[in-house]
Structure 1
Amino acid sequence: MSEPNTDPEVLIDQRDGLGRIVLNRPKAINALNHTMVTRIAAALAEWAGDDAVKAVLITGAGDRGLCAGGDIVSIYHDAKDGGTGSREFWRDEYILNATIANYPKPYVAVMDGIVMGGGVGVSAHGSVRIVTERSMIGMPETGIGFVPDVGGTYLLARAPGELGTHIALTTARLGAGDAIACGFADHFIPSEKIGQFVEALSSVSVEAAVAEFTEPAPDSDLLAQRGWIDAAYSADSVTEIVARLQAGGVPEAAKAAGQVLAKSPTACTVTLASLRRARVAGSLEEVLNEEFRVSVACLGSADLVEGIRAQVVDKDRNPRWSPATLDDVTDAAVAQFFTPLGDLELGLTAPTTIGDQQ
């Protein structure tokens, strides 16, 4: 058994055949930073070749959630200073996301409580994804002038119909039933039984533990609304999506239109383009490469700094987007977000496993 790593931000331990990762920033709902990403990657690399490790488990400290996403305040300050730190953070984070998706052993993610953005990246690409009645999962990027990343556009583009487009543009939160229906999770276990489930992983196989504790998932509210969602979000532009939502005569659709209009017009337009491109991509790695281009471009956009300022720095909740309307976002401006980065490309090839990282 390896000695426990008691780093305050992420706890790494190995015992009873289980490699355990505990995100350990409970006051920040376990928001990810670069150090945490590199420590997780190192542990996964070590365990991949260790026959004593039969499975990996990732959980979050505290009772609020697995992970609230990346440390966006750090990204805010870095973007104002040139963005090189965030770029390298994303590089390592996206490589980690791909590694998780192709991990050679069961990778069990307990997605209890809040799981947002980067938290989705370290959980929803795993092979065994557990949700509870407390789960609140989402990709909130367009609300801060950013675009879904960490392989999020890959997952969203593969949700039934246009549910992923709705989730991305409105930043809708997914409960347990929605998460399973949309392909972000696999199994429902009541939160009161998570402790027993984790304990069982030390003595029985992952399959046996899942079989013992899984219960029927709640119904998906989003699936029940696919009629108006598919009709509206199948449009070719965000402007047309909003028009269809407003004209549909469905109260939920009208509410969704207002939510989209409150987000960054540029981020929403780039997000729609990203989702359409991800839908036809051949692999997660291909999507992550493109997400990296988009994320790096966002560092140079006014809306990312402004969105984080309004939501979490000044907290006035009144972002001044530039441009301010969807009609003012040009095709040329959108195209710039997908420009290849030359020597800075992420460069992942499919599939990514331990030892294949760039």
Structure 2
Amino acid sequence: MNGNAATLTFLADPHVLTFADQCAGRIRLDRPKALHSLDLGMVRQMTQALLDWRSDDDVRIVMIDHAGGRGFCAGGDVVSIAKDTPKGGTLGRDFFFEEYRLNHLMYTYPKPGVVFMDGIVMGGGVGIACPCRYRVVTERTVFAMPETTIGLFPDVGGGRYLSRLRGRSAQYLALTSARLDGADCIALGLANFYLPSDALDAVKAEIAASPEKAESILAGAAVPPPPARIVERLPTIDHLFASDDFDVVLAALEADGGEWATDTLAALHKRSPTACKVSLRMLVESPRQLHFVDEMRMEYAIMARMHRAPDFAEGVRALLIDKTGDPRWSPPTAAEVTPAMVDAYFEPLPPAEAWTPLPAYR
């Protein structure tokens, strides 16, 4: 972790391509075997490119996509972090610190961004997609914040993006890790253009040549999305996820007894109870953060503790390493997760350990 990241030139990372294309700066994720999951080297190269382009008058827009495969970006490389942390390593601390700097840089960037969310968009992928002015989805988009399945919470600015969604959809998405398709993303406001995937290459070429026409180019290529499946479910979600108390949510689902509520309850029982309670609390606290820098500072304090907690390593083991699907959470039930335990995650870090934005953005 380096407080002078804005002045450093990092070594090129083979898993992300950054290059100029006519009037556009292009960021292309290229790690298909890992669904383009972000590692520290990728984060650093993306940061360096954005810093370089910020003062480059020839770059008037930034476009983000992926090189191939079925994922745009499946998140951060949590397996490497989970393996490093028990050994006393600092990979988790360094990765989240610098990833959040990238998220903040993108959120405050002076030039417009276009992201092509074609394929799987999860976790860290959401963090580099949502700051963009133009967010394109396709018939192949699968969007989710699945952090509670591995003992974490929807970070990378998730508190800011989710808490501004209509009704109680944020609470539903954060707790259940529910997957949205492109039409759902349009309906909830997580994306603003729905394009056929076979139109993307031509659109990218047009935008690179005429970035000032990006919005009209996207609007001209967009097609009406199919009916959004989540829309008919929203009244039920608003009712059953009305409480900010996870125990009350569980009780409401159990009392409902319907098929959807029963299936949702079963899914929640597989999530980390601590992560679920922290996630709900974050969605209460996030709207109180005046600026995005405050959101990032709060999320980093939570993550600095959570990625070292037992549930993270256990969740990654069960879901991504052994793939047994049998996490043993600690504590194992929601009733055993006390308010004091949740409060502890939200305590500010000591100044020497706290998150800070890149020096130019302080």
Aligned to 2:8: none
TM-score, normalised on structure 1?
0.94
Task: Work out which of the residue numbers 263, 271, 287 in structure 1 matches 2:271.
Answer: 263
Task: Work out which of the residue numbers 72, 81, 87 in structure 1 matches 2:78.
Answer: 72
Aligned to 1:351: none
Letter in 1 for 2:340: A
In the alignment, the residues of structure 1 paired with residue 359 and residue 245 of structure 2 have an alpha-carbon distance, to the nearest angstrom, of 40
Task: Work out which of the residue numbers 158, 162, 178 in structure 1 matches 2:164.
Answer: 158
Task: Work out which of the residue numbers 132, 140, 152 in structure 1 matches 2:138.
Answer: 132
Deviates more, 1:178-187 or 1:58-67: 178-187
In the alignment, the residues of structure 2 paired with residue 203 and residue 253 of structure 1 have an alpha-carbon distance, to the nearest angstrom, of 50
The superposition leaves residues 214-269 of structure 1 with CA deviations (integer Å, 9 ceiling, x where unpaired) of 12223322222111111111113111101111222432222111111110011111
Aligned to 2:241: 233
Aligned to 1:356: 360
How far 1:76 moved relative to its partner? 0.7
Task: Work out which of the residue numbers 88, 92, 98 in structure 2 matches 1:82.
Answer: 88
In the alignment, the residues of structure 1 paired with residue 166 and residue 273 of structure 2 have an alpha-carbon distance, to the nearest angstrom, of 25
Contact 2:15 2:29 in 1 (8 A): yes
Deviates more, 1:317-326 or 1:220-229: 220-229
Q: How does 1:241-252 map to 2 (within 5 A)?
A: 241-252=249-260
* Count of residue correspondences: 349
Aligned to 2:122: 116
In the alignment, the residues of structure 2 paired with residue 157 and residue 77 of structure 1 have an alpha-carbon distance, to the nearest angstrom, of 31
Task: Work out which of the residue numbers 7, 26, 34 in structure 1 matches 2:40.
Answer: 34
Letter in 2 for 1:315: K
How far 1:355 moved relative to its partner? 5.7
Contact 2:12 2:45 in 1 (8 A): no
**SS of the residue 1:169 aligns to:** helix
How far 1:172 moved relative to its partner? 0.4
Q: How does 1:1-358 map to 2 (within 5 A)?
A: 7-82=13-88, 84-204=90-210, 205-342=213-350, 343-348=352-357, 356-357=360-361
In the alignment, the residues of structure 2 paired with residue 217 and residue 82 of structure 1 have an alpha-carbon distance, to the nearest angstrom, of 48
TM-score, normalised on structure 2?
0.93
Contact 2:123 2:144 in 1 (8 A): yes
How far 1:7 moved relative to its partner? 4.2
Letter in 1 for 2:164: R
Letter in 1 for 2:353: L
Aligned to 2:7: none
Structure 2 unaligned residues grouped into runs of 5+? 1-10
The superposition leaves residues 57-111 of structure 1 with CA deviations (integer Å, 9 ceiling, x where unpaired) of 1101213121010001111112212352211111111111111112111101000
Contact 2:74 2:124 in 1 (8 A): yes
Contact 1:116 1:139 in 2 (8 A): yes
Contact 2:13 2:45 in 1 (8 A): no
**SS of the residue 1:344 aligns to:** coil
In the alignment, the residues of structure 1 paired with residue 328 and residue 69 of structure 2 have an alpha-carbon distance, to the nearest angstrom, of 34
In the alignment, the residues of structure 2 paired with residue 164 and residue 328 of structure 1 have an alpha-carbon distance, to the nearest angstrom, of 24
Give the fraction of aligned pairs with identical amino acids, expressed as a percent: 38
In the alignment, the residues of structure 1 paired with residue 89 and residue 238 of structure 2 have an alpha-carbon distance, to the nearest angstrom, of 37
Q: Say what the alpha-carbon RMSD is for the aligned residues.
A: 1.6
Contact 1:106 1:206 in 2 (8 A): no
In the alignment, the residues of structure 2 paired with residue 277 and residue 339 of structure 1 have an alpha-carbon distance, to the nearest angstrom, of 12
Check 1:113–1:235 CA distance in 2 against 1; reply closer, same or farther (3 A cut).
Answer: same
In the alignment, the residues of structure 1 paired with residue 12 and residue 198 of structure 2 have an alpha-carbon distance, to the nearest angstrom, of 26
In the alignment, the residues of structure 2 paired with residue 149 and residue 184 of structure 1 have an alpha-carbon distance, to the nearest angstrom, of 16
How far 1:284 moved relative to its partner? 2.3
Contact 2:137 2:194 in 1 (8 A): yes
Letter in 2 for 1:356: A
How far 1:198 moved relative to its partner? 1.1
Contact 1:114 1:135 in 2 (8 A): yes
